[in-house]
Structure formats: structure tokens, C-alpha cells
Amino acid sequence: MDTCRTPANASKCSGNTMECFMVLSTQAQKISIGILCGLFGTMCVFENSLVLYLIFSSPGIRKKPSYLFIGSLALADILASIIFVCSFVNFHVFNEAGFSKEVFLLQLGGVNTSFSASLSSLLLTALDRYISISRPSEYKLLMTRKRAWTALAVLWVTCATIACLPLLGWNCCVLDSACSELFPFVDDNYLSGWICFVVVLLGCIVYAYAHVLWRARQHVAYMEKHQAQAGKQNTRMRMDVMLAKTLVMVLAVLMLCWSPVLGLMIYSIFGRLSDHLRKVFAFCSTLCLLNSMVNPIIYALRSKELFSSLRRVFSHFRRQLKAAEESPEAESTHKSSVIET
């Protein structure tokens, strides 16, 4: 078993072993975590898979950069749910600590990559809305599909690189530095850097949406004043305002779900966490899954294009189901008539 410098609050542990971070002490706590992860994770994978299907099964939708970014967000949430649930439940519920430091850091890197990519995809979506509303006449020239795919490639490579730094050597075992109180083998300085990265992303998103909301209010006032003359331009503005409001709702949910986790991470750097707070952190971590689960619901309720595509899929499914139910009856009727003849 790999050992490193003991966390400041882990006085009961003989070293920085995996058991020091298994904070769920009762069976009720483990069952609760297992149920939350199972429920949120399953719903998240199903909903985001449906979003991906709706986007890439519709030629008109998948050509738009806005929905490429939303597809990236859905993909990141799917990966985050699968990796997070498997590793989190295996560690905290089943108390599996037989894997090596490298395997654990690889799992942690996968979780960090997915959640970072989720947040970064939301930033790209915010920037897309920013350009669409602030420079509508130049939007199609500035935001092309090629540039959208390039931005997504840079996004995923950057997130993966940052998340894999502990595996590549920036960990407290290799550096013989102070370890985090929340994550095994993670260096406090790396955790501080990752938190700064997330805070910068959130700050950029908030700035972009502040401008989007300001321009959206101008668009609403313009539509009310020139309702008769605007025509198609009003329709496009209304869609931009609707999508902007949708993504603001996504951002609000993101902040609500991530604030407790980030707050405890920051507190762990500057102070000492009690066992109770470490248990609270374990439960708050499941809020990240809740965020990934709620995002597709907001898309379905707010995006008319995705909602229309969803209705077409359900209508097609109902027709196929009805045809399958009627087919045996028709075949039975045909056989009966043959016998009677």
C-alpha cells in the first residue's frame, strides 16, 4: 500500500492510507449514498443519452454549434456519472482499497476530466449565446461548425491534461508534500490550482451571462415595441432569449449543486476538517450528479427544437408499439378465416 504524508486531521490513521478517507461509518450512511448514486447516476445516463440521440439524429439540430456544445455537455455528464458512481460507490460503500495509487489517481482523473469538461462546455455555450446576441449579424461567420469542433477539441484536451497531472507526478507521494484531507494522494497545491481553474470558469460564465441577460432584456423591449414590423427577426430574437434563459437556469442549478463542494474544498485548504464535515462532503458530492441529471430536463422543457424532436421520437415509438400489438391480432384473424374456409 502506498503511503504519503498523513493529512492534518487524520490523527487516527497510521499513514495516508486509503482507509483514512473512508468516512462513512454506519450502514445507513452507506445505503443512503448507494441509493443516491444509483438513482442520480441511472437517470443522468438515460436523460443525457436521450439528449445526445435527439441532437445527432436530427440533421437540422446537429449542424448548429449551439447544440454541438450542448452535446458535449451531455457527453461529459454521461462519462462523469459512470466513472463517479462506479469509483465513489466502490470506495465509500464497499470500502474497496486494494487498488494501487496509480489506479486511484486514474479514476480521479477521469472524474475531474468529465466534470471539468461539463463546466467548460457550459462556458462555450455561454460564449456562443454571447456572440449570438451581441453580434447577431456576424454570428454565422464567427461561429462556424469547424470552429465549434476545434473549440471542443481544445476543451477536452485541456481538461484531460489538467486532470491527469496528479497521475503524471503532481501528487503528495512523489513530491513528499502535504496531502489533501479530502482526496488520497492529492497534493494541496494541485487542489488549490484546480479550484482556481473552476472558479475562473465560473467567473467567465457569470460575466457572459450577465451580458446575455442585459441584451436579452433589450431584445424583449424591442420586440414589444416593434411587434408588427419585425417579422422573422423577432422570431429569431425570441429564440435567442428563450435559449439564454434556459442556460441561465442551467447555470443557477450548477452553482447550487457545486457551491457546497467547492466551499468545503476551499475550507480544507485553509483549515482542518472534522470527521463530520468530511461526511458532509461525501454527501454533497452526490449533488454534482444531481446537476448532471437536471440539465437534460431543462433542455426538454425550454428548447422547442429538442422538445419537438422528442415528441417525434415518442410518436414514432408509439406507432411502432401499436403496430406490434395489432400485428398478432391481425395474423390470428387471418388464420381463423383460413380455417373456417
pLDDT over 50 (residue 12): no
pLDDT over 70 percentage in the chain: 80
Rg (CA), the chain: 25
* pTM of the complete model: 0.82
pLDDT over 70 (residue 230): no
Distance of CA 39 to the CA centre of its chain: 16
Tell me the backbone φ, ψ of residue 65, rounded to 5 degrees.
Answer: -55, -35
3-class state of residue 171 by DSSP: strand
Name all domains of the chain by residue range, CATH numbers in brackets. 21-308 (1.20.1070.10)
Q: Which of 1, 44, 2 is nearest to 176 (CA)?
A: 2
Torsion angle, alpha carbons of 296, 301, 306, 308, to 10: 150
Q: Alpha helices of the chain — where are they, by DSSP H?
A: 27-56, 59-62, 65-92, 101-134, 139-142, 145-163, 165-168, 172-175, 188-225, 227-230, 232-270, 275-302, 304-340
Query: Cell digits for 303?
Result: 428548447
Position 1 scores a pLDDT of 46
For the segment 288-330, what is each residue's pLDDT rounded down to a tens digit?
888 888 888 876 667 778 888 888 888 888 888 888 777 655 4
For the segment 20-71, what is each residue's pLDDT rounded down to a tens digit?
788 787 888 889 888 988 999 999 999 999 999 988 888 888 888 888 999 9
Higher pLDDT, 171 or 338: 171
pLDDT over 60 (residue 252): yes
pLDDT over 50 (residue 225): yes
Please, are residues 261 and 288 in contact by the beta-carbon 8 Å criterion? Answer: yes
3-class state of residue 161 by DSSP: helix
Position 196 scores a pLDDT of 92
3-class state of residue 11 by DSSP: coil
